[in-house]
Structure 1
Amino acid sequence: MMSGIFVSSFAFLARLSALVAALGLAATGLNAASDTEAVVLAQLSPWNLDYGEDRCRLIRFFGEGDNRVVLVMEQFGLSSHFELILAGKPLRRFRRHDNVSLQMGPGFEAFERKFQRGNLGEIEPALIFGSISPVHGALEADDDPDTDDIRMLEDSYHPTGTSLKDNGAAIQWIVVSDENETVRLMTGDMAKPFAALTQCTDNLIRSWDVDPEVAASVVTPPKILNVMDVAPKIQRNYPKKAMYRGQSANIQLRLIIDESGAIENCTRIDVTEAENFTNIACKVFLEHAKFEPARDAAGNPVRTYSMQRIRYVMGG
């Protein structure tokens, strides 16, 4: 464990509820500053590192009272990207259909991003930004959230490119803004939190019987060769109960792919609540998907993993 970072393996929402309760008693002496341009929120809690069954999370609270905001960063494997969720009342003016500006500064430039609106347990609203990177901005296949469709992102979480932990020292704050509202979270230096998150994902990968050093050596990640064959088979099987109720969901598929490109196994991970969504996507991948194996710098095929994102989206 790193100094100043609490480690937990509790269920996420139970852990979050416990933190809210604890902070309700201990939140004294911290004031949220604001001016005409921005709501500036100071740190309220230490970083909490949550060792989940299928992901790693960094959690921190900022501000107090009605200005309280929780920041959640999630990773499902080694990557320069992470999932970002912000939740709390100061975010209620951000509208789902608008682009917002995100910046992790002062070291990185701002970029535009759309989001899904939801809740984080009892904390609302929650702005769910999906996969982002300090360096590369948003990783998104299709920014339009309002079409009846199933969309797929290829290999969003394979460890290629700059490591997340290498970028932490350049980040002291995170800003989300649009033309009417600006909220700034004073995160402090992110080097140690990102290093702790990377250590968590190393341990997570080992639990899949994959060597994180081998995974990190990959130069060319596994590549699906027949996405135009696989995607329609998933699209034709939008779960009927979810469709009837107008439900959408974000689902991650974790595939272990061997040196020949064969899929050893598939695990479904619910990124958002997905109560009425079946495991049909894994079935389709196991039966029909064909992959080019991952390769290291010498061109040798290696056994590693691939993360495939599937967004089930009902029209607005």
Structure 2
Amino acid sequence: MAIKVAPMSLIRMIPVAAMSVVLVSQPAAAQDGRVLAPSSHWELNYDDDSCVLRRGFGSEGEGVFFELRQFAPGLSYQMLLVSPDLAVGDESPTIRYGSDGDSWKPRDAVIVEYDGGLEGVLLGDSMLSTATKAELRDLDEDERTLRYQALAMDMAALSDRESSVETITVGEVFGEDVTLRTGSMKPPMDAMRECTGEMERRWGFDPAVQQTLSRHATPRNGHRLARRVQQVYPRAMRNTNQSARLRIRLDIDEQGSVTGCHFQLPVEQEAFREDACNSLMPAQFEPALDADGNPVASYWTTAISYLMSW
């Protein structure tokens, strides 16, 4: 199956229905719907500011293009599902990994429309179990950050988890459960980690230092940072109900000051890029600490979504 997806700058994003609700888990349905075998090998792309795993699933008439994209080392990724054959609905998607008993309803999922009428769903997620995600959801922001970082550094548990995941089931997106028979996710995720480590080198950081940090660079007021960017959303885009999803990386020095601002996905309006970065440059961070507790230069990444009503 060959599916060509347009560059990210050419998509129009539409909020999926009921996305303002709090994250909830829901019981998994019995194994039904479509079960799709791979139609291609895994493909790994080394982009400047992201690493991308892609694979096709299904035969002619039911093909699905699947993509995982990481913007930095860690647990989180952006998932994209596109099909030239299956109609995309407007219900909130659910995700279930392997034999997890429950499905998870990710936050901020959006329908994406590509030139030519191709549609899909874009969402943020991780391969953590539904039970672990529910545990994280119930923590306050500071506790959640620390727990998440600890989980990302537990390579033994992460390896076991990725080895056990051999299917990914997506509900609601195409009107029925669609199960992708991925095979063990450990080999492709190992390749992804090699890519994100190389990406850190291109950014000017030593992966050996960054991957053993005792503390990551942390904004002193994360909510204020998000509000700063939201306040500079271009009026023209707001007036025409244009949604947008931003990925931003800030370089942070040993004193916790911002030394660089980078957009990790294309932004069509250059003024948007300049205004957003100008609003973030004065931010102050608790600097990253290396394994011995010494301040080191590092970076901080974030995703900010503008989801307009249609």
- Give the TM-score of the pair, scaled to structure 2: 0.76
Q: Note the C-alpha offset of 1:124.
A: 3.0
Does 2:301 match 1:310? no
Say whether the 8 Å CA contact 1:105–1:173 is kept in structure 2.
yes
CA change 1:74–1:121 in 2 (3 A) is farther
User: What amino acid does structure 2 have at the position aligned with 1:253?
Assistant: I
CA change 1:160–1:255 in 2 (3 A) is farther
Q: Note the C-alpha offset of 1:227.
A: 3.7
CA deviations over 1:177-223 (Å, ceiling 9, x no partner):
24961100000111111111110111111000011111111232211
Does 2:285 match 1:291? yes
User: What amino acid does structure 2 have at the position aligned with 1:161?
Assistant: L
Does 2:71 match 1:72? no
CA change 1:58–1:159 in 2 (3 A) is farther
Q: Which protein, 1 or 2, shows the higher relative CO under an 8 Å CA cutoff with sep ≥ 6?
A: 2
CA change 1:105–1:123 in 2 (3 A) is farther
RMSD, matched Cα? 3.2
CA change 1:226–1:118 in 2 (3 A) is same
SS in 2 for 1:133: coil
User: Which of 73, 83, 91 matches 1:88?
Assistant: 83
SS in 2 for 1:72: strand
Aligned to 2:152: 162
Aligned to 1:245: 240
Does 2:96 match 1:103? yes
| Seq. identity, % | 27
Q: How many residues align?
A: 268
The separation in 2 between residues aligned to 1:195 and 1:43, in whole angstroms, is: 19
The separation in 1 between residues aligned to 2:120 and 2:242, in whole angstroms, is: 17
Aligned to 2:183: 188
CA change 1:162–1:234 in 2 (3 A) is closer
Aligned to 2:41: 46
Tell which deviates more after alignment, 123-132 or 73-82.
123-132
SS in 2 for 1:181: coil
SS in 2 for 1:161: helix
Q: Which blocks of at least 5 consecutive residues in structure 2 are unaligned?
A: 8-29, 138-143
Say whether the 8 Å CA contact 2:214–2:292 is kept in structure 1.
no
- Give the TM-score of the pair, scaled to structure 1: 0.74
Aligned to 2:32: 37
User: Which of 121, 125, 129 matches 1:131?
Assistant: 125
User: What amino acid does structure 2 have at the position aligned with 1:127?
Assistant: V
The separation in 2 between residues aligned to 1:262 and 1:268, in whole angstroms, is: 18
Does 2:269 match 1:276? yes
Does 2:207 match 1:212? yes
User: What amino acid does structure 2 have at the position aligned with 1:191?
Assistant: K
The separation in 1 between residues aligned to 2:287 and 2:295, in whole angstroms, is: 6
Aligned to 1:25: none
Tell which deviates more after alignment, 122-131 or 242-251.
122-131
Q: Note the C-alpha offset of 1:139.
A: 12
The separation in 2 between residues aligned to 1:283 and 1:138, in whole angstroms, is: 36
Q: Note the C-alpha offset of 1:261.
A: 0.6
Q: Note the C-alpha offset of 1:176.
A: 0.9
